Amino acid sequence: MSKYLIPAALAGAMLAMPAAARDRYDATIVRTSYGIPHITAKDWRGAGYGVGYAYAQDNLCMIAEEFATVAGERSLHFGPEAKAVLGFAPVDNLSSDFFFRSAIDLPRLRAGAKAQGREVALTTDGYVAGYNRWLREIGPEGVPEACRGKAWVRPITTDDLLRLNEKNMILGTLALASGIANAAPPGSKLAMRPGDALPGQDDVVMGSNGWAFGGDVTADGRGMVIGNPHFPWTGPNRFWQMHVTVPGKLDVMGVGIAGSPLPILGFNRDVAWTHTVTAARHSTLFQLTIDPSDPTAYLVDGNSEKMVSQTISVPMGGDAAPATRTLWSTRYGPLVVLPASGLAWNATTAFAVREGNKGNQRALGTWVRIAQARNVGEVRAAVEETLGIPWVNTIAADRNGDVLHADVTVVPNLSAEKMTACATPLSALAADRMTLLDGARSSCDWDVAPGTPVPGMMPAASQAVYARRDYVANSNDSYWMSNAKVPHAPLSPILGRAESILSLRTRSNFIELDRMLNGEAGKPGVKVDHAAAKALTFANKSLAAELAMDRLLGLCRGKPDVARSCQALEGWDRRFNVDSRGAYLFTLFWKAASRIPDLWAVPFDVTDPIHTPRDMVTSGETATKLLADLSAATAQLDKEGIALDARWGDVQFAPRGKERIAVHGGEGGAGVLNFQASNPVPGGITPYHGSSYVQIVGFDNAGPVADAVLSYSQSPDPASPHFADQTHLYSEKKWHRLPFGKAKIAADAAGKPVRITE
C-alpha cells in the first residue's frame, strides 16, 4: 500500500464523524509523477492543511529536527557539544540554543503575522493542523526509522512555524549566531573562550541564476522564465514541489522550503517567477563606544545608555540542570563578539548588529500576492508595497511578454554619503563582509523614510527595478547589470557594488545570452523557446576554461614535470558534463590559479565589463605559479587515487543508497552557470549546494507550459520512492513536463485522490 493512502480503519472512522466535526479542515491531494502533490481545497485553511500534511509525509524527520532547532532545544535532544549548520557555518548546539532563545521574539512575530491578513493566518493554521494530522495517522511506529522514538518528533503549534519563518528571514544574522550567543562583558569567564570568526568568503555559498525573456525575444511573443536557484541539497532549505489550488482564488505551482505553506518560487496561469540571492545587505554592524565607568553601558551622542540584559535558560538532557547565560542588547540590536574577526568587547569598544529582517512576517503575505498575480505589474506592486521579500531578487515574466527584475528587498536605508560619513577606522577592514557604522552617533542609525512598513527600511523607489520586453538576468552580482545593453545607474553601495568587476558566472551568463540571441561563429541567433532554454541552462560550459585553457596548454606543452597534466587537459571538452574528462583536474587547478595577483593582461574596463579582465598572463613569475598550481592539482588527484582524465560523473556524484548518481555542473568560480558546490568524499566529491529546482516556464492559450527537474528529488527519506528518481532525471539532463489543470493531473496521477478532513 502506498504510504500516501489513509489507513482504512482511520478513513472509515473519519467518514462516520458528523460533517460539522470534520469540515473545519478539508483538502484533497493527488500525487503525480515523482511524488508531486496537487492540493485542492475549498479555502485557504484547507490549502495549508493539505500542504502541511503532504510535506510531513515526505520530510518528517528533517522538519521535526528543525522545529527543535528553532525552539532552542538542540542541547536537550542532541547534546550541547554536537554541532549543526546555521547559515553557512557549523555552530555548537548550546550556542545555537542560546541564539534562538534570545533572538526569537514571539509576541512580535505573532503581531506581525496577524497583520498579514486572513489568508496568511488561515493558511498557517491549516499547515500546523495538516502536519499534526499526519503525525497522528502514522503513530509512533509509523515514524520514519531515522527519527522513530525521538522525543523531538512531536505535534507543533503556530509558534513553531513562526520561529521557523524567522530563522529563514534572518539569514545574515545566522552567520553571527555564535558571536551573539557567546557575547559577554570583558573579564567574564565566557569572554575568555576561544575566539570565533565570521565565515570566510569561500565558506559562504550563495547562488542562483534567473532569466526572464520577454515577447521581443521569445519564439511565441509570450514571456518565459528560467529559474535555476542554487540551494542546499540537504536540510530544511531543500526545495519541495507542490501545486496548490483554491478554486477562484489561487492556482499556483512551484516549490517551497520547510514551513512554506505555499510556493515561494513558481508559476500560475499567467505569471512565472524565480528568485536569486541579492548582493544587497540586510543588516549592519554598529561600533559602540563603551562607557569608561561601566562595561555594560555605551555612549550615544555623549550620553550613557545602559545595555539591556536578558537571562536565557537552555534545557539540558538527562538530569543535568539547565544552562543559563546573560546576553546583552542595545538600541541597535544584540551584542556580537567574534574576536578572530576583530569584533571584540573590551573596556573601550563593542559591536552590535541590527538585522533588517528581524520580525519580517510580511514575506508570506508578499508571496500570497505574487501567487495570485495576473501580470508582472502586480508582482512588482506586491514586492514594492510590502517590502517583504527578505534577501532575494525577484525575476518574473507573464503571458503578455513583459518581464521584470526587482532587486527590492528589506535593505537598511543608507545613502553612500551617510555610509562614508558614519564609517569608523575599522569599517574598511570589514567592508568585504559587513557594513560597519559608528554607533556613538545617533545620526548614524538607519534613516527613516515615509511610507515604509518598517522604520529604517530603504523605500522601493530607491532600489533597482527593470521592466522590459527583451530580457533580464541575474547570477548574484548586483542590480548594476541585469541587461547587458542597459547597466543601471549606481545606487547606494548597501545594494551592492556598481561599475566593478563581475563574477565569471555573471559574465558567462551574458556572453551565452548574446550568443543565443545574436548568434556566433556564423550561426544565426534564435528566438527563445523551451529547447533553447534547456540548452542554455545545462550547457555546463566553463568561462574560466574558455579564457585560460589555450594559454595554459601553450605554457605546459613540452614540460616534462606537467606532461601528464597537460595531456589530460588536452582531451578535456572544457565543459562539466558527466562524460567530460579532465574537469576535476582543471577545477583544482583553477581554485588556486584564479587567486594569482595580476593574472590578466587586460584589466577590468567599466566600458566592457562582460569581456574584461581577460588574456591570462603566461610569462615570468605568473607562469611559474601557474605551473606550480597545475602540479599541486595533479598531486592531489594522485593522492586521492583519481585519474587525471577521470570522467566528471565518476568524480562528482550523489550517493543514493548503494548508488552513485553522476551529477553534472561545476563551480561558479570556474564560470559554470549550472553551479554545484561539492564536498570531498571517498572516491570523489558530492554536491551539498547548487542547482536544485530548475524550471522553464512559458505560456500557451490554456495556461503555463512548464518543464522542471528537482536535482536532489522530492524526499530526503531513503525509504521514499522519491528519494532518487529526479536525481536520475537530472543526471541524464531530462525534464518533467509538469501537469497543470485537472485533466493533465488526472492523466499523470500516481494513485487515487486522497481527501483529508477534520
Reported pTM = 0.95
pLDDT score for 10 = 41
Three cell numbers, residue 345: 568587547
Q: Which CATH number fits domain 283-355+414-444: 2.40.50.100, 3.30.1360.40, 2.40.10.10, 2.30.120.10?
A: 2.30.120.10
Rounded CA gap, 409 and 355, in Å? 13
What is the third-level CATH fold of 543-672?
Answer: 1.10.1400
- State the Cα torsion 573-575-576-577 to the nearest 10°: -70
pLDDT tens per residue across span 215-224: 999 999 999 9
CA-based angle 577:521:617, to the nearest 5?
Answer: 70
Please state, for a pLDDT cut of 90, what percent of the chain lies above it: 91
Please state, for a pLDDT cut of 70, what percent of the chain lies above it: 95
DSSP character string of 34-58: GGEEEEEESSHHHHHHHHHHHHHHH
pLDDT band at 165 (very low <50, low <70, confident <90, very high): very high
pLDDT tens per residue across span 543-601: 999 999 999 999 999 999 999 999 999 999 999 999 999 999 999 999 999 999 999 99
**Catalytic center residues:** 208
Considering the chain, tell me which residue range(s) the CATH 1.10.439.10 domain(s) occupy. 8-185
Query: How many C-beta atoms lie closer than 10 Å to residue 14's C-beta?
Result: 15
Position with higher pLDDT, 463 vs 16: 463
E strands within 199-330? 209-213, 224-228, 230-232, 240-246, 250-256, 265-267, 271-277, 283-291, 294-300, 303-306, 308-314, 323-329
Q: Strand, coil or helix: what is 61?
A: helix
Rounded CA gap, 417 and 502, in Å? 24
Report the amino acid identity of residue 543: L
Rounded CA gap, 509 and 527, in Å? 17
* pLDDT, mean of residues 155-161: 98
Q: Strand, coil or helix: what is 481?
A: coil
Angular region, 675: left φ>0, alpha ψ -120 to 50, beta rest: beta
- Note whether 232 and 222 are within 8 A (CB): no
Q: Which CATH architecture has domain 8-185?
A: Orthogonal Bundle (1.10)
Three cell numbers, residue 365: 503575505
Considering the chain, tell me which residue range(s) the CATH 1.10.1400.10 domain(s) occupy. 543-672
pLDDT score for 342 = 87
- State the Cα torsion 76-78-79-85 to the nearest 10°: -110
Lowest mean pLDDT among 81-95, 291-305, 671-685: 81-95
Rounded CA gap, 154 and 170, in Å? 25
* pLDDT, mean of residues 148-167: 97
As a whole number, the mean pLDDT across the chain is 94
Name the nearest CA neighbour of 704 among 736, 734, 738, 735. 738
pLDDT tens per residue across span 513-539: 999 999 998 889 999 999 999 999 999
Q: Strand, coil or helix: what is 384?
A: helix
CA 493 vs. chain centroid, Å, equals 22
Rounded CA gap, 395 and 407, in Å? 9
- Note whether 86 and 200 are within 8 A (CB): no
pLDDT tens per residue across span 350-403: 999 999 999 999 999 999 999 999 999 999 999 999 999 999 999 999 999 999
pLDDT band at 23 (very low <50, low <70, confident <90, very high): low
Query: How many C-beta atoms lie closer than 10 Å to residue 597's C-beta?
Result: 7
For residue 251, the cross-strand partners are: 245
With a cut of 50, say whether residue 9 has pLDDT above it. no
pLDDT tens per residue across span 183-242: 999 988 775 555 566 665 444 556 799 999 999 999 999 999 999 999 999 999 999 999
Three cell numbers, residue 485: 545593453
DSSP character string of 172-187: HHHTTHHHHHT---TT
pLDDT tens per residue across span 24-64: 999 999 999 999 999 999 999 999 999 999 999 999 999 99
pLDDT score for 429 = 86
Strands 36-41 vs 83-86: parallel, antiparallel or unpaired: unpaired
pLDDT band at 158 (very low <50, low <70, confident <90, very high): very high
* pLDDT, mean of residues 277-299: 97
* pLDDT, mean of residues 85-93: 84
pLDDT score for 1 = 32
